[in-house]
């Protein structure tokens, strides 16, 4: 497994792969890897001849400096596991490699960024768009892999790739969960034991709302019940609970439409902000 820190060295290595007609799969991550990340790696290995994983905690996508400082890191373990998964190359750039100067451009995503994560994390998707653009330009992958855990991010990346003609195919991977339903996330290790127990509420509320919708119940009544559920959990603070059309993240008030619809939730459990979502037609 090649471990590369410089963008130039990475581009050179990958050009050799392309010259040998090998297809390149790319999995961008922020490290502190868990099974969710490895599902992306497995998919990449299925689709491509050569798999590259990047580990870079991107400062420009953090709206909260404390969240950035406390973002979990375990590089040695990550590398061992990536080696076991037979990843071909890991790109671990320093900050100055990705940002030799602070970016002068900013990226807007219209209505997509005015709701949910975009509304609650000002500047987040600008940072995501910039770092993903830089990484796609360095790696030039045939396939790039993203988790449905970050569903709005998937919509943002689709917009980026379509609008800027990035020559890559986006593949999405279902959310991996712990036994009690909590979506795997690098941030979960920051939860204290009582918070870890409280964090089940995210998935529970999604499953509850989905079942209520299936029984034809009114969305506003469901939301009220969900708010009450959160109020009863110590340490839990609901930020949003919305039903959206997946393609453009339009907020919906009923589920009658014949489209891909998901329910998205964000909540603080203690100091840790978690997000999750569920498709209502699975
Ligand atoms: P991150 O390291 O959190 O930036 O995530 C890197 C990639 O892994 C993103 O495409 C995420 O959507 C994906 N991912 C994170 N958690 C999960 C999960 N539980 N299941 C599937 N994919 C995930």
pLDDT per residue, tens digit, the chain (282 aa), is 999 999 999 999 999 999 999 999 999 999 999 999 999 999 999 999 999 999 999 999 999 999 999 999 999 999 999 999 999 999 999 999 999 999 999 999 999 999 999 999 999 999 999 999 999 999 999 999 999 999 999 999 999 999 999 999 999 999 999 999 999 999 999 999 999 999 999 999 999 999 999 999 999 999 999 999 999 999 999 999 999 999 999 999 998 777 799 999 999 999 999 999 999 988
Q: What per-residue confidence (pLDDT) applies to 212?
A: 97
d(CA 172, CA 174): 7
Q: What per-residue confidence (pLDDT) applies to 281?
A: 87
d(CA 209, CA 192): 27
Distance 146 CA to ligand 1 centre (A): 7
d(CA 97, CA 8): 10
- Going by CA atoms, what residue is nearest to atom 14 of ligand 1? 147
Q: What per-residue confidence (pLDDT) applies to 259?
A: 79
Tokens of 16: 């050799």
Q: What per-residue confidence (pLDDT) applies to 28?
A: 98
d(CA 12, CA 234): 52
Evaluate: CB of 183 within 6 angstroms of ligand 1.
Answer: yes
User: Following CA atoms 121, 123, 127, 128 in sequence, which dihedral angle do they give, to the nearest 10 degrees?
Assistant: 50
- Going by CA atoms, what residue is nearest to atom 10 of ligand 1? 146
Choose the residue to mutate in 27, 40, 43 for probing ligand 1, maximizing ligand atoms within 8 Å of C-beta: 40
CA–CA distance from 55 to each of 73, 92, 164, 195 (Å)? 10, 5, 24, 27
Contact present, 199 and 188 (Cβ < 8 Å): yes
Q: Cβ neighbours of residue 127 under 8 Å, at least 6 residues apart?
A: 58, 59, 60, 61, 62
Q: Cβ neighbours of residue 275 under 8 Å, at least 6 residues apart?
A: 117, 149, 150, 183, 202, 264, 265, 266
Bridge partners of 267, per DSSP, are 238, 274
Q: What per-residue confidence (pLDDT) applies to 258?
A: 73
d(CA 7, CA 143): 19
> Roughly how many angstroms between the first and final C-alpha of the chain, as a whole number?
37
Give the residue numbers annotated as catalytic, written as ranges. Answer: 37
Q: Cβ neighbours of residue 248 under 8 Å, at least 6 residues apart?
A: 111, 112, 155
Q: Which atom from ligand 1 is nearest to the alpha carbon of 153?
A: 12
Tokens of 230: 């959160």
Strand arrangement, sheet containing 236-245: 251-252, 236-245, 261-269, 272-279
Distance 38 CA to ligand 1 centre (A): 9
Q: What per-residue confidence (pLDDT) applies to 249?
A: 96
Strand arrangement, sheet containing 50-55: 2-4, 89-91, 50-55, 24-29, 143-147, 169-173
Strand pairing report for 89-91 and 2-4: parallel
Evaluate: CB of 176 within 6 angstroms of ligand 1.
Answer: yes
Evaluate: CB of 160 within 6 angstroms of ligand 1.
Answer: no
pTM of the model: 0.98
Q: What per-residue confidence (pLDDT) applies to 256?
A: 77
Q: What per-residue confidence (pLDDT) applies to 282?
A: 80
Evaluate: CB of 39 within 6 angstroms of ligand 1.
Answer: yes
Contact present, 80 and 87 (Cβ < 8 Å): no
Contact present, 228 and 205 (Cβ < 8 Å): no
Distance 36 CA to ligand 1 centre (A): 6
d(CA 181, CA 276): 10
Distance 219 CA to ligand 1 centre (A): 28
Nearest to 182 by CA among 198, 164, 166: 198
């Amino acid at each position: 497994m090649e471990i590369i820190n410089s963008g130039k060295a990475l581009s050179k290595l990958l050009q050799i792969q392309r010259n040998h007609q090998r297809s390149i799969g790319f999995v961008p991550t922020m490290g502190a890897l868990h099974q969710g990340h490895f599902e992306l790696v497995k998919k990449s290995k299925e689709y491509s001849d050569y798999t590259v994983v990047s580990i870079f905690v991107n400062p420009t996508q953090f709206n909260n400096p404390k969240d950035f400082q406390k973002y979990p890191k375990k590089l040695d373990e990550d590398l061992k596991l990536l080696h076991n998964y037979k990843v071909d190359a890991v790109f671990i750039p320093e900050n100055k490699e990705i940002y030799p100067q602070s970016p002068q451009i900013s990226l807007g995503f219209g209505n997509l960024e005015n709701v949910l994560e975009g509304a609650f994390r000002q500047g987040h998707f600008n940072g995501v768009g910039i770092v993903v653009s830089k990484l796609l330009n360095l790696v030039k992958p045939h396939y790039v892999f993203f988790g449905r855990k970050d569903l709005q991010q998937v919509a943002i990346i689709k917009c980026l790739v379509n609008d800027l003609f990035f020559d890559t195919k986006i593949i999405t991977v279902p959310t991996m969960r712990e036994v009690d339903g909590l979506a795997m996330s690098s941030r979960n290790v920051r939860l204290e034991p009582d918070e870890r127990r409280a964090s089940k509420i995210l998935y529970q509320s999604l499953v509850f709302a989905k079942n209520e919708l299936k029984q034809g119940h009114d969305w506003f009544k469901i939301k009220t019940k969900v708010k009450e559920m959160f109020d009863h959990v110590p340490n839990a603070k609901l930020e949003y609970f919305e039903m959206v059309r997946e393609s453009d993240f339009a907020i919906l008030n009923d589920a009658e439409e014949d489209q891909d619809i998901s329910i998205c939730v964000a909540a603080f459990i203690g100091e840790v902000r978690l997000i999750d979502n569920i498709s209502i037609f699975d």
